[in-house]
Amino acid sequence: MRTITIVSNDKVGLLADISYVLAKEKVNIESISADVISGKGIITLTLSDAEKGKEVLESAGFKVEELNSVVVKLDDKPGELNRITSSLSKEGVNIQNVHMISKDGKTTVLSLMVDNPRKTALILKDNLLANESVY
């Protein structure tokens, strides 16, 4: 799964501007996370076409970084997040970001942005749902 992150000065209408640029070029937002930290907006997007989305956003003046993520499916029960994060930590994999994509009471789907997607996919192979960068 290809994810992009935008770091921008926070302002009223920032998400409106981003979503307008993407909609105008027919790039669909599949998931979004937005935070404001010390006056900076940090928006992480999973897009229908990450390459095109990155290109059009950069053309519009946004600072964009592209990240690769590993998507895993876990049982929705206490301790599952600790199980996988501990496994990655023991193997020296740094988790840079985590997004919950879905949760239905039985399973939870997470997107993990890590410094080593291939190693992560091997470690979490029993929970792996998708990862374009691994294959």
State which of 67, 97, 114 marks the end of a domain. 67
If one counts the domains in the chain, the total is 2
Q: Do 57 and 114 share a structural domain?
A: no
Domain that holds residue 98: 68-130
Domain-located, residue 135: no
Average pLDDT value for the chain: 89
Domain-located, residue 12: yes
Q: Which CATH number goes with the domain that contains 103?
A: 3.30.70.260
**pLDDT the model gives residue 108:** 92
Is 131's pLDDT higher than 90?
no
Question: How many other C-beta atoms lie within 10 A of the C-beta of residue 86?
Answer: 11
pTM above 0.75, yes or no: no
Q: Do 85 and 61 share a structural domain?
A: no
Q: Give, in order, the Cα–Cα distances in Å from 70 to each of 25, 43, 64.
A: 26, 18, 19
Summarize pLDDT for 52-64 with one digit per residue, the tens: 999 999 999 999 9
Rg (C-alpha) for the chain, rounded Å, is 16
